[in-house]
Amino acid sequence: MTASASVSRLRLRQPDDWHLHLRDGAMLAAVTPETTRHFGRAIIMPNLVPPVVTSDQAAAYHARILAARPEGSAFEPLMTLYLTEGSQPEDLRRGVECGLIKAVKLYPAGATTNSESGVRDFDKAMPVLETLAELGVPLCVHGEVTDPDIDIFDREAVFIDRVLDPLRRRLPHLRVIMEHVTTRQGVDYVRSAEQGLAATLTTHHLIINRNHLLVGGVKPHYYCLPVAKREEHRLALVAAATSGDGRFFLGTDSAPHATHNKEAACGCAGIFTAPNTMSCLAHVFEAEGALDKLEAFTSLSGPAFYGLPANEAWLTLVKRPEPVSYPARVSVAEGQTVTVFDPGFPLFWDVESIMPS
């Protein structure tokens, strides 16, 4: 990354998003351009209805994403499989060997949106997990237990102790990404590992804590899973993101839901950050005096963990004298909209251009 002496212009490798929801159908068509505008690649979440369980289903979804790209876009969707207790090692191996499958996603059953087909008995999923370890393919983990007696704010920390650490001891060569880490305990656990463990951090968890969600009334567009935690945890996430430690990289978990489904008696979990993520991140990193670490977080550390080259294109961010304007909502078919994340402060950093190498 290069920056001018006044730090009003940044040039960095084009970023990637290592945790993204694009949905399907009309929603896919509406939100895909918001990611392809800035990002070169993204790990695509498989929790559709029905979920993307087999390599053939992943190939079909891959084709639908390519069809939704704007004309001229070179955006590359990186496909994952949804781990179930019936997943087949042979199918995984076939998908990996043909270059389609880049990771497998573990959802504890009932943990988040469309996770009902996830894993309850890890012994039944062990053949696929052993194949992942053999192939060196990452397991992307939604790290929360779902026991009703565990407080929702404690589910990540309990998952580390009860599920993740025993699993990694059982399969020491398994490469694991703790996705959307939200706690100091999660950050500390990643830092304690000598190898084979990384974490994605989201845009919104670097900005909001649980007060943003709950003080002065419930704010449905700040509701996500894992839920935002105390300020001490947010500060731990910011410290990890801005440290330059290659084990922490960007996975936005940008998760679009129709606005009316968020603003409901039982609103959906998910925050849509794809349009303004780069502006938000530049703000956070500047506040920490860490703009020189932004490229590692957004563009270098993720590819390195996945064993992929960094993008050859370059993105330029410019700090404007006046706040940058983003639409409050993105239109979907039939009059529906998706509400864009509001960080709660003005954004001055703007993506000026993306240029080839």
Any idea which residues carry the catalytic annotation?
253
Residues 6+ apart with CB under 8 A from 169: none
Closest CA to 119 of 137, 151, 94, 145: 145
Tell me, rounded to whole angstroms, the distance of Cα 290 from its chain centroid: 21
Give the span between the Cα atoms of 243 and 290, in whole angstroms. 8
- The alpha-helical segments, DSSP class H, found in the chain are 25-36, 55-68, 89-97, 122-135, 155-159, 165-170, 184-192, 210-214, 231-241, 259-262, 277-287, 294-295, 301-306
Strand order in the sheet with 139-142: 17-20, 41-44, 76-82, 101-106, 139-142, 176-179, 197-201, 248-250
CA-based Rg of the chain, rounded to a whole angstrom? 19
Give the ranges where 160-230 is alpha helix by DSSP (H): 165-170, 184-192, 210-214
Cis peptide before 226 (omega within 30 of 0): yes
Phi, psi of 20 (to 5 degrees): -140, 140
Residues 6+ apart with CB under 8 A from 68: 22, 28, 29, 32, 33
User: What whole-number distance in Å separates Cα of residue 328 and Cα of residue 30?
Assistant: 14
